Structure 1
Amino acid sequence: MNYLTRQLKGKALDIVDRLLPVRPVMRSANEQLLLDRESRRMHLYYCRSCPSSITVKRHCERLGLRVVEKDVLRVNAYRNELLNGGGAPKVPCLRVDDEQGGQWLYSPDAILDYLKNRF
């Protein structure tokens, strides 16, 4: 039953996500340019039918981040990247490339906390 509820919630959120755009935070052109550069080093592995994925995706949009979005159900190569790089084929996952090589955040709460603290 839980699986069915999750799938229905995911489909409903997908429809809402497609119909209702998110208004990003307004920033100066310079701030947004710096943010664009930094956010391009982030890759969001997600699935359109996963409620947590859609929540994280919309949060990134609300912050004005232009993360690289990778739908693991549509492109097998993205799923393989997720499995080989992060170790688990779970979504949502945020890969942050930085000076130390990068980190893989799997938990929606961990992703949202990282974004909240960083931006």
Structure 2
Amino acid sequence: MNVARQLKSMAFDWVDRVVPVKPVVRPPALQTALDRESRRMHLYFSRNCPASIQVRRHCLRLGLRVVEKDVERVDAYRNELVNGGGAPRVPCLRIDGEQDSQWLYSPDAILDYLDQRY
């Protein structure tokens, strides 16, 4: 990893830890329904990836409570990512449907999906 990318990821991580995210305020009944629905989404991320931090903060901003899985800290999450999605890339959003799961790898695709859906 080059030095510029390391510095950028360290800066994003620091901002993520220090600057709070203000979520969208919704009526309690709607927020409860969104909480239930967002629990079917799993975000595989890394604290050293600026795109992962951006997607994670966007989820918080939308008031979604997705299941967050740090692939660098827990090897089982990395194995889930490789076995289920086919590639060890982050960020990745797994959306569990009625019969199958959808895996989104591109940060732009993840953000577009979240903006259109919520």
- The normalised TM-score by structure 1 is 0.96
Residue of structure 1 equivalent to 2:59:
60
Once residues 5 and 54 of structure 1 are traced to their aligned partners in structure 2, the CA distance between those partners, rounded to angstroms, is: 17
TM-superposition CA deviations, 1:42-100 (whole Å, max 9, x none): 00000001000000000000000000000000000000000000000000000000124
| Equivalent residue, structure 1, for 2:42 | 43
Cα distance in structure 2, aligned partners of 1:111 and 1:39: 13
Tell me the percent identity.
69
1:4 offset after TM fit, Å?
Answer: 2.1
**Aligned-pair RMSD on alpha carbons?**
0.9
How far apart, in 1, do the equivalents of 2:3 and 2:91 lie? 19
Please show how residues 20-99 of structure 1 align to structure 2 within 5 Å: 20-99=19-98
The runs of 4+ residues in structure 1 deviating greater than 4 Å are: none
TM-score by length of 2: 0.97
Any idea what SS the aligned residue of 1:21 has?
A: coil
- Number of residue pairs aligned between Structure 1 and Structure 2: 118
Q: Distance in 2 between matches of 1:34 and 1:12?
A: 34
**In 1, Cα distance between the equivalents of 2:64 and 2:3?**
32
- The answer for the alignment partner of 2:2 in structure 1 is 3
Gaps of 5+ in 2: none
Structure 1's unaligned 5+ residue stretches are none
Amino acid in the other structure paired with 1:43? H
Superimposed CA distance per residue, residues 15-40 of structure 1 (whole angstroms, 9 cap, x where no aligned partner): 11001110000000001000000000
Q: Give the secondary structure class of the aligned counterpart of 1:35.
A: helix
